[in-house]
Amino acid sequence: MEQINLEKYKVSIKSFDNIYRSEKQSKVKYWFFGMGIFGVIILLLPWTQNIKAKGTITTRSQEQRPQNINSPIAGKITKWWVKEGDFVKKGDTVLQISEIKEGYLDPNLVGRTKEQVDAKKGTITYYEGKIATTGVQINALNNAKVLKISQLTNKLSQLGNKLAGEKAEQSAVNNEFSVAEDQYKRQLKMFEEGLVSQTQLQQRQVSFQNALAKKTIVDNKISQTLQEVANIRIEQNSVEQEYTEKISKAEGDRFQSLGQIETGKGEVAKLENQVTNYIIRNGMYVILAPQDGQIVRASKSGIGEILKDGETITVIVPSRADYAVEMYVTPVDLPLINIGQKVRFMFDGFPAIVFSGWPNSSYGTFGGKIVAFENNISPNGLFRVLVAEDKEDRRWPPQLKIGSGAQGIALLQNVQIWYELWRNVNGFPPDYYKLKDAIGKDKDKEKSKDKEK
C-alpha cells in the first residue's frame, strides 16, 4: 500500500497541533521542583501548637451565677408579684407568703412577748427591792449583835470588879479567920492547963465561929460571882450563835434573790431574743430579689401552695456577669496548662474562620487567659480549667449567656510545620513549656533563696 505522507496534511489538520506534543519540551520537572521548593517552604513555616477543648460559658463570681430563690421559712403562698421572664431589681418583691405553723399564728405575737419581757423585768425589780430590804435587815442584825455583845461585855466587866472586891474581902476575912483560929487554939490550950476560965474560952470560940461564918459567906459570894461570869460568857456565845444564824438566813435570802435576778435576766434575754426572731420572721413573709436579674423556672405555682423551709421557689439569672469559660482537658494535656496562658475561643452563634496553627490569621475568635485549673479530676474523667476574658484582646460579645457552648484552643509552643507533622506521626504530645512571666518569677525565687543561703 502507498504510505500516507503526513507532512502535507500537517498544516491543514488543527487537532494534530493541539494533541501531538512529541516534539515539544516537557515542563513537568519544573513543576516538580517548584512544588518541592514550595513544600519545603511550607514545612519551614511557623506553627503554633495547641490544645483543643470544649467548654461552657460561666462566671468566676459565685454571686453572678444563676441562683435559687428559696423560702427561708415554711409558709403558704398568698400572692405572686412577678411572672417567669420578668426582670427585677434588687429588693423587688417576688413572692408573699403567710404563716402556717401554729406557734406563730397569733397576729399580736410580738406584742404579747414584749409584755412577758416587761413582766420579767418587773419581777427583777421586785427582787432588787427585796435585796435592798435584806441588806437593811442584815445591817440591823449586825448592829443589834454588836450592842448585845457590848452589854454582856460591860456586865462581865462589872462582875470582874465585883469579883476583885470580893477577893479582897476574902483576903481580909481569911486573915481575920486565921487570927481567930490561932487565938482560939491558944485559949483552948490555956483552958486545958487551967489558966483561963471556960467563959473566956467560949468567947474565943464564938469569935472563931463568927470568923468562920464570914469566911464561908465571902467564899459563897465569890463562887456566885464566878457562876455569874460563866453564865454571861455562855450568854455571849448564845447571842453570837443566834445573831450569826439570823444574819446567815438573811444572807441566804439575799443570795436567793440574786439568783432569781440572774435567772430573770436570762429569761428576759431569751424573751428579747424571741421578740427579735419574731420581728425578723415577720419580715420573711415577703421574699425579695437578692440582686438584679431575670426570673426563670418557677418551681411553685398558684395560690395556697405550701412551702417547706429552704424549698426552692424560682431561679434568678443575674443581669450582670463577668463571663468566663470552663473547659475540660485530658490528663495528658494537663501538664501543658499554665496560669496566664492564652486561649482562643469560638462561641456558639458567632461565626468564625479558624486556622488552629496560625491564630493571628483566624477571624471571629476571642481571646482569653487561663486563671485557674483544678488538680482533682472531674466525674467525666477530665480536668476543669477556668478561662477569663483577655482584657488586652477583643472584647467578648455582650450577647453571651451562661451555659452556652464554646470551643477553646489553648495556644502552646511555636514550632515549624515539619516538626508538628513529625510529632503527630509519632504520636508525641505537644512540647511542655512555661510562660516567660512564670520563668522569670521562678528565677527570682531561686536568686532570693541563694541570697538567703
| Domains (range + CATH), the chain | 7-61+321-452 (2.40.30.170), 67-90+286-317 (2.40.50.100), 109-283 (1.10.287.2610)
* Sheet with 87-88: strands ordered across: 67-70, 312-318, 293-296, 87-88
Using an 8 Å Cβ cutoff, are 433 and 412 in contact? yes
- 124/122 Cα distance (integer angstroms): 5
pLDDT (tens digit per residue) in 369-379: 999 888 888 88
Give residue 450's pLDDT. Answer: 54
Give residue 66's pLDDT. Answer: 86
Using an 8 Å Cβ cutoff, are 404 and 348 in contact? yes
Using an 8 Å Cβ cutoff, are 159 and 229 in contact? yes
pLDDT (tens digit per residue) in 167-221: 887 788 888 878 877 877 887 788 777 777 777 777 777 887 888 888 888 888 8
Give residue 210's pLDDT. Answer: 84
Give residue 21's pLDDT. Answer: 54
Q: Nearest to residue 121, comparing CAs of 14, 264, 299? A: 264
Kindly state the DSSP code that residue 394 receives in the 8-state scheme.
P
pLDDT (tens digit per residue) in 359-370: 666 777 888 999
pLDDT (tens digit per residue) in 25-46: 667 777 878 888 888 787 777 7
Most confident by average pLDDT, 93-102, 209-218, 317-326? 93-102
Would the pTM count as exceeding 0.75? no
- 354/189 Cα distance (integer angstroms): 163
Lowest average pLDDT, out of 140-144, 186-190, 322-326, 379-383, goes to 186-190
Q: What does the block give as the cell for 181?
A: 483560929
Crossing angle of helices 198-283 and 109-193, in 10° steps, is 170
Is the confidence at residue 92, as pLDDT, over 60? yes
The band of 150, judged by pLDDT with boundaries at 50, 70 and 90, is confident
- 100/79 Cα distance (integer angstroms): 15
Ramachandran quadrant class, 427 (left: phi over 0; alpha: psi -120 to 50; beta: rest): left
Give residue 49's pLDDT. Answer: 72
